Amino acid sequence: MSDGDTAYEGLIKEHEARKAHVLAMGGKEKLSKRKAASLLDARERIERLFDPGSFTETGMFVTSHLPSMRDKSPADGKVCGFGRIDGRNAAIVSCDLTVLGASSSPNNVKKMGHIRRVATKNGMPVIFLNETSGARIPDTMGAQGIGALGQDPTQFLRDRQSPYVSACLGPSFGTGTWYTMLSDFVVMRKGACLAVSSPRVTSLAIGEDVDPEELGGWRLHTEKTGLVDYAVDTDEEALDLIKTFLSYLPSHAGQRPPRTEAPDNSRIDPEIILEIVPPQRQKVYDVRKLIKAVADPDTVLELKPKFARVATTALARMNGQVVGFVASNPMFKAGALDPDGCDKITSFLVLCDSFNIPIIILCDTPGFLIGIEGERRKAPGKIMNFQTALQMCTVPKFSIVTRKSYGQAYLNMGGTRNSDEMGAWFTADVGFMDPVIGINVVYGVTQKNDPEKFSKLKAELDRETSAYDLAAINSTQAVIDPRETRDWLLRMLEIHSRDLEGGLSQRRLASWPTTF
């Protein structure tokens, strides 16, 4: 053996030992506690998410900047790198709670910055697996501590060059929360807490006990704030949902979403639409069933399903092409759109416009929900945000009125030229407001106080509100038998291909805020 071989042997040993130290994370004891609680660790999560053997770590030997903490901070609490999901590259930041609570530090912030820059420059999604106690204390205390942060003026710049996805898999405060808020899709494990600061910090600040579920639990975020799309029971379910979501998105904004093979059309029975949607306007139905009947079988992924249920937003496929469905849902509040519903739709329009996803609007709404509560919650502003967003969207937009479409909501839901092509079912009823209310407002006549006059006036107003009346002035380009909905949409998707622009949007919404 030569001297060179011996020298290499020592270096190889050291390299292996250093790697083993990093891979041991926060130590056996902490890791076995997690296992006992059925929680995956930061590296197991990566393994579960990425195609086998595809993960390459970056910043593996990063440690705390404090010399005394170097040995106690493997990977500095954030495991970062690149891997493949279904053959496509993706970047990841996976928090390791067993190392200093995966707290954010000057060095691991540099790692995260590298991940974001590489992903943006080369066009791949960024996945944040959050389980972090927030900023590292005492490292970030004092003017020098806080001043050491903020070295990257693009740290929180979100212009949606590639998708961001987050999972909250434990406590998520500070940076973990901020990246979650910048994400296009968020899933949360039940029991996790997503908030600005931890319950302990919050409790000390306000001087009273704070319940983590109340502060940032899954019910709050899936039902009330809408900041989280899905709550799940296990890490595995969360990771699988991330994969599912990404399967609908392009790797970056310069691509169309990945297309799959068209389904076997014999599995689709258009007659079922007549069973789902009652022709009587006072009867409600669940628009989610209609979307499922129109889209390719088993392809509908609803976003924020428990939040603002008056509106449904869903990714789906039509003959293998990714589309985004926006619908009012008569099942909830009769489909009258409220401020949360407007926010939900606006954020979905931003997603579709940013990533070249055509939009299909299904409209059955008595209008915007009016009332004092809505006004207090800025309903007028929300309605215009939604309307402006729709008008700025340059992806193909198709709108179908199934039954009702009244007032400003008619325009917000793609009425006339607010979509590229409009269709109305022959059951459509379109006007400034429901004729029954209109008769009362204009003539002061109700069914109760003058049934005869009411019937006469209603017959008159009803005559001028049909799909054919709308079609006569070409404000709808088609009057459709409900059973023809899928075929009509498939043809329109082919025709409005945006081939001149390579199917790409102008992305005017791509730099819109991440929360409304």
Chain residues that interact with other proteins, rule: CB under 8 A: 223, 281-284, 310, 330-334, 336, 366, 369, 371, 373, 434, 436-437
Closest CA to 289 of 262, 325, 257: 325
Residue 486 φ then ψ, to 5°: -60, -45
Measured CA to CA, the distance from residue 261 to residue 403 in angstroms comes to: 32
Q: What is the DSSP string of 92-159?
A: EEEE-TTTGGG-B-HHHHHHHHHHHHHHHHHT--EEEEEEE-SB-TTTT-HHHHHHHS---TTTT---
Measured CA to CA, the distance from residue 404 to residue 430 in angstroms comes to: 6
Torsion of CA 492, 509, 242, 164, to 10 degrees: 150
What does the DSSP 8-state code read for residue 424?
Answer: E
- Find tokens 């990566």 and name the residue: 46
CB of 289 to other proteins, least distance (A): 12
Q: How far are the Cα atoms of 47, 91, 173, 216 from residue 111, in angstroms, in the given order?
A: 20, 12, 18, 27
Question: 162 is written with which tokens?
Answer: 């590639």
- 81 or 341: whose CB is closer to other proteins? 341
Q: What is the DSSP string of 162-174?
A: S-EEEEEEEEE-T
Q: How far are the Cα atoms of 279, 330, 410, 432 from residue 283, in angstroms, in the given order?
A: 8, 9, 20, 21
CB of 312 to other proteins, least distance (A): 13
Measured CA to CA, the distance from residue 284 to residue 277 in angstroms comes to: 8
- 41 or 302: whose CB is closer to other proteins? 302
Question: 386 is written with which tokens?
Answer: 């939604």
CB of 366 to other proteins, least distance (A): 5
User: Which residues are registered as beta bridge partners of 93?
Assistant: 80, 128
CB of 330 to other proteins, least distance (A): 7
CB of 208 to other proteins, least distance (A): 22
The amino acid at 208: E
CB of 165 to other proteins, least distance (A): 25
- 285 or 325: whose CB is closer to other proteins? 285
- Find tokens 């009244």 and name the residue: 406
Measured CA to CA, the distance from residue 296 to residue 263 in angstroms comes to: 6
Measured CA to CA, the distance from residue 514 to residue 516 in angstroms comes to: 7
CB of 426 to other proteins, least distance (A): 21
CB of 371 to other proteins, least distance (A): 7
Measured CA to CA, the distance from residue 485 to residue 482 in angstroms comes to: 5
Measured CA to CA, the distance from residue 213 to residue 343 in angstroms comes to: 24
- 182 or 409: whose CB is closer to other proteins? 409
* 359-365 and 397-406 beta bridge pairing: parallel
Question: 437 is written with which tokens?
Answer: 């209310």
CB of 367 to other proteins, least distance (A): 9
The amino acid at 177: T
CB of 332 to other proteins, least distance (A): 6
CB of 302 to other proteins, least distance (A): 13
- 437 or 478: whose CB is closer to other proteins? 437
CB of 436 to other proteins, least distance (A): 6
The amino acid at 127: I
Measured CA to CA, the distance from residue 352 to residue 342 in angstroms comes to: 15
